Chains A and B, each alone.
Chain A
Amino acid sequence: MALLGKLHRRIVDVGLVPKIVASLPVISIICALFSVGWFALLPMEGHYRRTYISENALMPSQAYSYFRETEWNILRGYRGELEELMDVSIPVRNELVSTWLEEFGMKTAVYHDTQHGDTLYGLLHAPRGDGTEAILLTVPWKNADGEDNVGGAALGIALARYFSRWPIWSRNIILVFSENSNSALRSWVDAYHRSLDLTGGSIEAAIVLDYPGSNDYFDYVELFYDGLNGELPNLDMVNIAVSIAEHEGMKVSLHGLEGPELYENSFFSRLKVLLMGVKSSALSGLRKQHGNEAFSGWRIQCVTLKAHGKDGSHDITTFGRIPEAMFRSINNLLEKFHQSFFFYMLLAPKYFVSISSYLPSAVAISLSFTVASIDSFMNNEYKSLPFSTIYNSKAFVAWAITVAVSFAIAQLFLHFPAANLLIAASLLTSLSPFMPCVGYRISRTLSFRLKSIAFIVFGLVLTCLLTVNFALAFGMGLLAYPLTLIRVSQNGQQYKTLRIKNTLLLIISNPFISMLIITALFEPDLEGIQILYELASAWSDLSCWTWFVICIGWLPTWILGALSTSNKPDLLSVDGEKKEQ
């Protein structure tokens, strides 16, 4: 204790605490810079690790795969028939395909959904085991790009026929044909857990097959793994997919890498995959959905395998051997997937960073907001006001009102999607620093208190979000960071330039405008204000929370930030305001 006492005395002597308090704005900026810097260093040697199969029972590629040339003829047969069927309406097609499935012993049923589309599924009972668990093979009739998934469908049926001859399965096998890879599939998964009659127990894992066209050969495999709401499949699931594909000699691509990029292994190639991963995870549900997103929320480990290219060196049975070997691996499991990581980011198919390595960067960005909040509470002449001042209660009430308003906006937009109006309103609110010109102003004290409460809430939101959805938390933190740079005008300051600066900062940190900017720059698939509609439809079709996270987490803070700029520097001395209360 003596040492602590000495330390305490020393700290007081040097005046460390006031110095730290005075430099809080700088600390906030340092936190934000640290966050970005830490993140950028993740692809450096020593920060990431090689992936490994953590669950011993999986043993990928340990058994010989028999889905080879002999099955190719069967596959071709199905594919030839399916090509004819692609112009037929889905209910007729489903009916026909279900007779094929029943030929080799599958029980089939069709889930009817008039809104999102019908789904045909077939169940193969496990020859071994108690049949309380299932593995899924999913084939959307149309893939994310709107192409006919002929190869995938033929492969799915041929694989199911092939699986039906094996006596080794200890889990039920379910084959699913959904109309598309997003809302129809999601609706089926939802119904499977609520209302369907024909079910095969809890789904352990699911593989979505995407092999567009009717070509026999393909070039490389792309793997999709980001789930909705920041969920990821267990890393072991990704690992077995990658290791089996590479075992068969295929190249695995992540996040749309192609050509020579697949062979690169440098700092920048890893950084690129990392950034693309963050982008696609933060925007999952809003971008193209490849099917694996549909399974989020039910403890189902799911990946999508997509074949790219028309004239590579691998044939379609090689592609089929990936799901075959994965099914054998998953079939070996004695428990649920639990061994490996659930929180990770991939830098390459075989490199990853785990949560302990990347979390500091998100913690730092949320800390920077908390520090900014303490700064606007402590670093002004109103610090010593008692707790029960009218300003505190006003700020608190203002916060409560903005949350209610933001929630109302979020709900209204779901029913009346008027994105242009939303953007216009945001731009108009960004002009709030000029409000004093038209006679409306708030007191400086309230300004500081509003900022303080806004940032503390936002810091809290980010902290809550960062384990659930790291990418979204990190992205939101960075995009909203300019808000903390807004300055409350001081006496005698050049407040014309300050106002313009504040307005600009408000515009770029607005949730909707900054989303538009980001998608315009980095997401060519989503044009213009489409992203806002996607946000709303992702909520109603896929129950993806991003829209509400943005509206309830980010928008109130932004509105409070905007409000806080509409003060006018008091030409009276500060004492005048103190006397007021």
Chain B
Amino acid sequence: MRMDATKSIVACFVTRLVLSALFPSLQAQLDKSVEFSTPMTSFRSLCEGVYMLKNGFPLYGGGVVHQSPLLILLMSFVDSEHLLAILYAAMDTVVAYHILALTRYFTQSLQIPLWLPSLLYALNPLVLLSCISRSSVIFTNVCVSSALLCAVQGNVVGSAVAIAGAGYLSAYPILLLIPLCGMGQNRQQKARLIAVTAATLAVLVALSYWATGSSWEFLASTYGSLIRYEKLFPNLGLWWYFFIEMFEMFLPFFKAVFNIFVVSFIAPITIRFNKQPFYAFILCLAWITITKPYPTLGDSGFFLSFIPFFQPLLGYLRYPIISCLLMLHAIFLSPIFYHLWVDLGSGNSNFFYAISLVYALALASIIVDLTWAMLRIEYDEGKPNFNLKLTQI
């Protein structure tokens, strides 16, 4: 069993390395696709940042770079192509390892082989391609998965540091602090979690301040432009189309509304599922994946990799086939409709937006179905009774 488990980790590392070695041009192609790269996470902008940094230009002067300064600083030490490939593969392997380690904690309740979740992660094409595209989403994912693992292990400090790192890299994951608090055993632990997170964030921001030559400019260029949705760029999310046509005077209001939309569901989910904090955490992760301003397929691949942990719930799902079909169609049709719109000019932006709606619908239907399944198993008090039919009122 142990051997199998390590094999799935090795598989994760090897597939990524082999794929990037076999198809060297794949990285650039994926980095140009709207599904895997956004102005906030693309490898191109990261390289631009590294170049700016190395040549002594102000990092955020050109308005092209929106990645965190410390990430750019770290990446500037990795200058060989092979090292980069290994680094990204290793990052993904760390996530696979975290998933494997998490599986060990749930072996009693799960009737699946130990290696399955991490192998599914290793072979998940969304995560795989996202890793090949070298999107910086992967660093956030590593932070989130290690925060989750630490929380499950009861390592409050580790979890706080990791979630602060995730929040530092891409702002929205800091919301996951709320479900993490739900995982704390007592009030003291929760307080410590929040305190350590705040302290880590403060340190990271201070380091960034120092790294960017004593300027606060990076705050506006990274978090500011992320939260204010400054780069109007088509992606799979719900935001871009909405803000294309809007009169300028309404923009601030609706940007606030969209941000509130992201935040608003986190606490209720945590409170409702306080007895299943792990589940609440994943549900919050899924919610952020749908509603964040610059989502990529890498985000949803990461969320979907946690579905095997809910194996006891899967019997309760009401329309898994519909969700799967929606997801499949959204993933395959989005590049085609983008091609029709941007390359051939025979389609228009409505085509691509329609598909991003289907994608959101697919994710939403998965979330709704999972929620229902959890409510049902609560109703059945943990002993599945599939013959009983219930309806929601």
Instruction: Check B54 for interface membership: any CB of A closer than 8 A.
Output: no
A contact residues, range: 20 to 34
B391 adjacent to A297 (CB under 8 Å): no
Tell yes or no: A107 within 8 A of B by CB: no
In B345-380, the 8 Å CB interface with A consists of 345-347, 351
Across the interface, which residues of A come within 8 angstroms of B337, CB to CB? 467
What's the Cα separation between A342 and B337 when bound, in Å?
A: 14
Q: Which of A2, A297, A343, A460 contacts B329 (CB 8 A)?
A: A460
Q: A1 at interface (Cβ–Cβ under 8 A)?
A: yes
Contact A342 B347 (CB under 8 A): yes
Chain B residue with the shortest CB-CB distance to A10: B391
Give the CA-CA distance A495 to B143 in the complex, in Å: 58
Q: How far is the CB of B119 from chain A (nearest CB, A)?
A: 10
In the bound complex, do residue A388 and residue B113 qualify as a contact, i.e. CB atoms below 8 Å apart? Answer: yes
CA distance A374 to B391 in the complex (A): 24
Could you tell me if A9 and B391 are in contact, using CB atoms closer than 8 angstroms? yes
Interface residues of A in 65-105 (CB under 8 A from B): none
| CB contact between A232 and one of B314, B346, B347 (< 8 Å): that residue | B346
Q: Are B391 and A467 in contact (CB-based, < 8 A)?
A: no
How many angstroms from the CA of A534 to the CA of B68 in the assembled complex?
Answer: 54
Q: Is B344 an interface residue (CB 8 A)?
A: yes
**B80 interface residue, CB < 8 Å from A?**
no
A4 and B340 CA atoms in complex are apart in Å by: 39
Among candidates B328, B344, B346, B393, residue contacting A2 with C-beta atoms closer than 8 Å: B393
Given A1-B392, A12-B389, A464-B333, do A231 and B346 touch, yes or no (CB 8 Å)?
yes
Q: How near does chain B come to A371, taking the closest CB pair, in angstroms?
A: 11
In this assembly, does B199 line the interface, its C-beta being within 8 Å of a C-beta of chain A? no
A297 to B339 Cα, complex, angstroms? 11
* Minimum CB–CB distance for A424 against chain B, Å: 33
CB-CB nearest in chain B for A461: B332
Q: Say yes or no: is B198 at the interface (Cβ < 8 Å to chain A).
A: no
Inter-chain contacts of B391 with A (CB < 8 A):
4-5, 8-9, 12
Contact A460 B116 (CB under 8 A): no
Bound form: Cα–Cα A468–B332 in Å: 13
C-beta contact mask, A207-237 vs B, less than 8 Å → 1, else 0? 0000000000000000000000001100000
Residue from the list A336, A343, A467 in contact with B336, Cβ < 8 A: A467
Distance of A232 Cα from B340 Cα, bound (Å): 12
Q: Is the CB of A374 within 8 A of B321?
A: yes
**Complexed CA–CA distance, A1 and B344 (Å):** 45
Alpha-carbon distance A5/B391, docked complex (angstroms): 6
Judged by a CB distance under 8 angstroms, whether A149 is at the interface is: no
Q: Are A370 and B340 touching (Cβ within 8 A)?
A: no
Task: Please indicate the chain A residues that have their CB under 8 angstroms from the CB of B392 in the complex.
Answer: 1, 4-5, 8
Q: Which residues of A contact B116 (CB under 8 A)?
A: 388
Known: A463-B329, A464-B333. A297 touches B393 (CB 8 A): no
| Residues on the B chain within 8 Å of A336, using CB | 345
- Whether a CB of chain B sits under 8 angstroms from the CB of A522 is no
In the complex, the chain B residue whose C-beta lies closest to that of A457 is: B328
Q: How far is the CA of A299 from the CA of B345 in the complex (A)?
A: 6
Write out, one digit per residue, whether chain B residues 290-314 have a CB within 8 A of any chain A CB (1) or not (0). Answer: 0000000000000000000000001
- Give complex CA distance A387, B120 in Å: 12
A448: min CB distance to chain B, Å = 15
A460 with B340: CB separation less than 8 A = no
Contact: B329 with A468, CB < 8 Å? no
How long is the Cα–Cα vector from A374 to B329 in the complex, in angstroms?
15
Chain A residues within an 8 Å CB radius of B321? 374, 377
Q: Are B333 and A342 in contact (CB under 8 A)?
A: no
Q: Are B332 and A464 in contact (CB under 8 A)?
A: yes
Do A467 and B351 have beta carbons less than 8 Å apart? Answer: yes
Q: How far is the CA of A569 from the CA of B113 in the complex (A)?
A: 31
Give every chain B residue within 8 A of A388 (Cβ-Cβ). 112-113, 116
Is B207 an interface position by the 8 A CB rule?
Answer: no
B393:A1 contact, CB within 8 angstroms: yes
Chain B residue nearest to A370 in the complex (CB): B325
CB-nearest residue of chain A relative to B314?
A387
Does A231 contact B344, Cβ atoms closer than 8 Å?
Answer: yes
The residue from B112, B325, B336, B346 contacting A342, defined by CB atoms under 8 A apart: B346
CB distance from A221 to the nearest CB of B (A): 25
Q: How far is the CA of A342 from the CA of B350 in the complex (A)?
A: 14
The distance in angstroms between the C-alpha atoms of A336 and B345, with both chains bound, is 10
Q: How far is the CA of A9 from the CA of B389 in the complex (A)?
A: 9
> Which chain B residues border A463 with CB–CB below 8 Å?
329, 332-333
Q: Which residues of A contact B113 (CB under 8 A)?
A: 388
Residues of B within 8 A of A4 (CB): 391-392
| Contacting residues of chain B (311-332) with chain A, CB-CB under 8 angstroms | 314, 321, 325, 328-329, 332
**Which residues of A are found within 8 Å of B340, using beta-carbon distances?**
467-468
Q: Which residues of A sit under 8 angstroms from B393, Cβ to Cβ?
A: 1-2, 5
Nearest CB of chain A from residue B389's CB, rounded to whole Å? 5
User: For A5, what are the chain B residues with a Cβ–Cβ distance below 8 Å?
Assistant: 391-393
Within the complex, the shortest CB–CB distance from A383 to chain B, in Å, comes to 11
User: How far is the CB of B191 from the nearest CB of chain A, in Å?
Assistant: 39
Which single residue of chain B is at the shortest CB-CB distance from A1?
B393
Chain B residues lying within 8 Å of A468, measured Cβ to Cβ, are 336, 339-340
A343-B344 in contact (CB<8A) = no
B117 to chain A, nearest CB (A): 11
Least CB distance, A214 to chain B, in whole angstroms: 39
**Residues of chain A within 8 A of B346, CB atoms compared:** 231-232, 342-343
8 Å CB interface, A408-430 against B: none
| Contact (Cβ within 8 A) B344 A297 | yes
Complex CA gap A370/B351 in Å reads 22
| B106–chain A nearest beta-carbon distance, Å | 16
CB distance from B376 to the nearest CB of A (A): 13
CA distance in complex: A341, B279 (Å): 48
A78 to chain B, nearest CB (A): 36
* Contact status A464-B389, CB under 8 Å: no
Question: Which of B325, B332, B340, B345 counts the most A-chain CB atoms under 10 A from its CB?
Answer: B345
Complex Cα spacing A8 to B392, Å: 9
> Would you give the shortest CB distance from B345 to chain A, in whole angstroms?
5
Rounded to whole angstroms, the CA-CA distance of A231 and B391 in the bound complex is: 48
Chain A residues with Cβ under 8 A from B329's Cβ? Answer: 460, 463
A residues in contact with B336, CB < 8 Å:
464, 467-468
Instruction: Point out which of B346, B347, B351 has the most chain A C-beta atoms below 10 A from its C-beta.
Output: B346
Q: Shortest Cβ distance from A274 into chain B, in angstroms?
A: 20
With a CB–CB cut-off of 8 A, which chain B residues contact A8?
Answer: 391-392
A343 vs B344: C-alpha distance when bound (angstroms): 12
Q: How far is the CB of B307 from chain A (nearest CB, A)?
A: 10
CB distance from B84 to the nearest CB of A (A): 28
Contacts of A460 in B (CB 8 A): 328-329, 332
> How near does chain A come to B372, taking the closest CB pair, in angstroms?
12
Minimum CB–CB distance for B203 against chain A, Å: 44
Kindly identify, within residues 444 to 475 of chain A, every residue whose CB is under 8 Å from any CB belonging to chain B. 456, 460, 463-464, 467-468
Task: For the complex formed, measure the closest distance between the CB of A293 and the CB atoms of chain B, giving whole angstroms.
Answer: 15
Q: Which residues of A contact B344 (CB under 8 A)?
A: 231, 297, 299
Q: Which residue of A lies closest to B324 (CB)?
A: A456
Can you list 29 pairs linking A and B with CB atoms under 8 Å apart? A1-B392, A2-B393, A5-B393, A8-B392, A9-B391, A12-B389, A12-B391, A231-B346, A232-B346, A297-B344, A299-B344, A299-B345, A336-B345, A338-B345, A342-B347, A370-B325, A377-B321, A388-B112, A388-B113, A388-B116, A456-B328, A463-B329, A463-B332, A464-B336, A467-B337, A467-B340, A467-B347, A467-B351, A468-B336
Q: Which residues of B contact A (CB under 8 A)?
A: 112-113, 116, 314, 321, 325, 328-329, 332-333, 336-337, 339-340, 344-347, 351, 389, 391-393
Having A460-B328, A460-B332, one finds 13 other A-B pairs with CB under 8 Å, namely A4-B391, A5-B392, A8-B391, A12-B391, A231-B346, A232-B346, A299-B344, A299-B345, A342-B346, A456-B328, A467-B347, A468-B339, A468-B340
- Measuring CB to CB, which residues of chain A are less than 8 angstroms from any residue of chain B? 1-2, 4-5, 8-9, 12, 231-232, 297, 299, 336, 338, 342-343, 370, 374, 377, 387-388, 456, 460, 463-464, 467-468
The 10 closest A-B pairs by CB, nearest first: A342-B346, A8-B391, A5-B393, A299-B345, A5-B391, A12-B389, A464-B332, A464-B336, A9-B391, A1-B393
